[in-house]
Amino acid sequence: MLVCFSLLSACPSPIFAVFLLPTVFGIYLNAYSYSLLPSTNIPWNEGPLHGLDALKEHTPAKPGDRTIMDALQPFCTALASAHDDADTKSVLMKAVQQAVEGAMKTKDMIPKLGRAAYVQVDEGRTLMMDPGAWGVAKLLEGFVHGWTDD
């Protein structure tokens, strides 16, 4: 886990940790059908949405602010919208594609939060994608490819 966080820049690492811990906890509780609180026993594909809700308690960031939320929100929403009878691999691949597309959209956004909001952008200069959003999208892609053996 620490290796994954060290690959991201300094700011997204703790933010992603705040997202990941409730996600894993929710999935873990559901996988073993044991819950300390009935509300935490959630389907596996809703675990990341649970983590996203926890993250939203700690940050005002939302999609469109040019942050990691631009990758996480579409990933979590795509997973949560999957039906129970859907193929797990295709659900995960679709969710990752949504995360990558969300991160790519940050190229055309004006930063509203984080370090990027303080950097002046010269008129006519093309921005690159938000590094945190891109890093999280690629990290999620790596998790999914490792899990599905792709």
Q: Which two tokens stand for residue 108?
A: 């055309």
Q: Classify residue 72 as left (phi > 0), alpha (psi -120 to 50) or beta.
A: alpha
Domains and CATH numbers, the chain: 2-148 (1.25.40)
| Residue 104 pLDDT | 95
| Residue 146 pLDDT | 87
pLDDT in tens, 42-84: 566 777 887 888 888 888 888 998 988 999 999 999 988 887 6
Q: Which two tokens stand for residue 127?
A: 């921005």
Q: Which two tokens stand for residue 70?
A: 């631009």
Residues with Cβ within 8 Å of 18's Cβ and at least 6 positions away in sequence, in order, are 54, 55, 58
| Residue 18 pLDDT | 67
Distance in angstroms (rounded) separating the CA atoms of residues 26 and 55: 14
pLDDT in tens, 15-44: 667 666 666 666 665 555 544 555 444 566
Torsion angle defined by CA atoms of residues 108, 126, 72 and 53, in that order, rounded to the nearest 10 degrees = -70
